[in-house]
A = this chain, B = another copy of it.
């Protein structure tokens, strides 16, 4: 029985659906034992995945999808892997001391921190990308650099790993999550999870 990483995915109003659902799918379906049957239990699951929001009140994602967070900030368990997705909702959160404070404290205690799409704007705001290479959605590259001019903003790849991992836009979060599986559970597990999902890395 392995010790599972607790993967906390932040959600908020106007979070982009695939930004959180892509990593949720990958991390919750990853297994160290191949095949369909291993997905029927958590025995070979390297991650325990849950959503976290400011409170447990339902969140309305971009497009209107309604999600009930598993935890609010007040009752969230310790988080080993913090995933911060993007979406229009990130813009108002840039000035939200409660959410930024939570991200900063949670990241400091986590073993690994990753963002999808414009989630990197929040990591930048909190200072987590200072002096680092990082990326974001193609529509927000300039904004990322303006939040923290010490960031070396990159583009063209699916994700950037400079200690903190940041992905390009929306669907690139799937590739980022598969890379996280690879780090925690090895390349065979990541490749087999992609195969299970019929995703071409």
Contact = CB atoms under 8 A, between A and B. Distances in A.
Interface stretch (A57-65, A93-101, A120-128): A57-65
A118 B133 CA distance: 40
A139 to B, nearest CB: 4
Given A18-B197, A28-B63, A66-B70, 9 more contacts: A16-B25, A17-B24, A18-B25, A21-B21, A21-B24, A28-B62, A67-B67, A170-B196, A171-B198
A172 to B, nearest CB: 5
A51 interface: yes
Contacts of A89: none
Interface in A1-51: 16-18, 21-22, 24-25, 28-29, 35-36, 39-40, 49-51
A68 to B, nearest CB: 4
- A interface SS class: mixed
Contacts of A170: 25, 196-199
Interface string A156-178: 00000000000011111010000
B17 A28 contact: yes
A193 B83 CA distance: 24
Contacts of A171: 174, 197-199
B58 A64 contact: no
Contacts of A67: 65-68
Contacts of A21: 17-18, 21-22, 24-25, 65
Nearest to A50: B64
Interface string A81-115: 00000001000000000000000000000000000
